[in-house]
Structure 1
Amino acid sequence: MIKAIIGLGNPGKQYKNTRHNVGFMVVDIVAFLLKCPKKEKECCFSKIIECKEHDVLLVKPQTFMNNSGIAVKNLLEDYNLTPQEILVVYDDLDLPLGSIRLRKSGSSGGHRGVKSIIENIKTENFPRLKIGIGRPQHKSQVADYVLSPFNKDEKLLVEKVINEAGKCLLNVLKYGVDKSLDSCNKKLI
């Protein structure tokens, strides 16, 4: 049973609408869909909404992407959670924009935020929801690409993806990861 949804991103207004912050965007839509209280508490190097009515924590680590594991490790310790009780939401360069992929576990796939989590909690065995953001033409452009906002043409699709990811996570909370895999894995193009 999932007890915490952790969206990865970077704190600060300058990063708010960037590709790297889709995890934060998904956590926000889940809070809206569940009608959770808007009050965020600061704990475990994170901003946390305790959605008690649904017995779930909605978490946005504030350690910056590459150090996400510090926040996640603290969350697990402070709330006495296992890695299988969290679900991490993050951007994925290897999935095309418009894609959503739910997985029960796996490697970091080169994502530094996920790598930090794996290193800090000492396991790859935690569920995750990957949000495709596509890849720039040249490898040298990756850092600028993930820290850039979605362009005008992409924004409508991104809104649909964020909403679909939110619905997927409601299914996960209700039915579990295993029963949600087929319905959550989709491409919205």
Structure 2
Amino acid sequence: MKYLIVGLGNIGPAYELTRHNIGFLTLDRLADKFEAEWKSDRLAFKSEIKYKGRSIHLIKPTTYMNLSGKAVNYWMKELKIPKENLLVVVDEVALPFSKLRMRAKGSSAGHNGLKNIEDLTGGQNYPRLRMGIGNDFPKGKQVEYVLGRFSEKEFEELPIMMDKAIEMILAFCRIGISQTMTQFND
């Protein structure tokens, strides 16, 4: 059984600890737990972990957020991974900070990374794990907010949120999306 877990984010030090990069940060933490190394590869940084007899391929696209679909499409084809074994880990302003929600499919809800994945993989029918970053920003300041760094309080709580996300990712690979949603979504 092979899986492709995609953490969305932007490359470069300017974006490193921003809310928009929570997908990257979570996959970094997952790779660290399994002592897996990242390698620069085609359109992404790539790592692989073994878990309960499964090969779990992790990628962090190097295409920048708005072109994430290029990397996702390439690696799905290269690794011959069906859409139901793809999981995209993404920031979500519509959820309060630290709230996690897994979905089997859904709209991009204005998220350019998800929109590009939809465009290049043939629709909205792919699993995603939405990680709540909150929406504590004035009208018209969403871009600054998502590209901004976590507050001190959020940064302290981030490891707990990422560890729960990792549990959900591993459950997705072990028991499938339906049971994972039942077990973890509130």
Look up the match of 1:44. Answer: 42
**Higher alpha-carbon deviation: 125-134 or 77-86:** 77-86
What TM-score, normalized to structure 2? 0.92
Partner of 1:185: 185
Match of 1:141 in 2: 141
| Structure 2 counterparts to residues 19-168 of structure 1, below 5 A | 19-33=19-33, 35-38=34-37, 40-52=38-50, 54-168=54-168
Q: Per the alignment, in what secondary structure is the counterpart of residue 14 of structure 1?
A: coil
**Paired residue total:** 184
Residue identity in the other structure for 1:48 = K
Please tell me the residue identity of whatever aligns with 2:103.
R
Instruction: Give the drift of 1:44.
Output: 3.2
Query: How many angstroms does 1:43 deviate by?
Result: 2.7
CA contact (8 A) 1:92 1:134 kept: yes
Given the two structures, how large is their TM-score scaled by the length of structure 1?
Answer: 0.91
Q: Deviations over 1:36-81 (max 9, x none)?
A: 422x233330011022464110110011111111111111121122
Q: Is the 8 A contact 2:43 2:63 kept in 1?
A: yes
Larger mean CA deviation between 142-151 and 1-10 belongs to 1-10
Comparing 171-180 and 52-61, the one that deviates more: 52-61
Which amino acid in structure 2 is aligned with residue 132 of structure 1? G
Q: Percent identity?
A: 34
Letter in 2 for 1:42: S
Which 5+ residue runs of structure 2 have no aligned equivalent?
none
Q: Distance in 2 between matches of 1:152 and 1:52?
A: 34
SS in 1 for 2:137: coil
In 2, the alpha carbon distance for the partners of 1:177 and 1:2 equals 14
- CA distance in 1: counterparts of 2:165 and 2:39, whole angstroms: 24
Question: Aligned-residue CA RMSD in angstroms?
Answer: 1.6
SS of equivalent to 1:13: coil
Unaligned ranges ≥5, structure 1: none
User: Does structure 1 residue 6 correspond to structure 2 residue 3?
Assistant: no
Counterpart residue identity of residue 107, structure 1: S
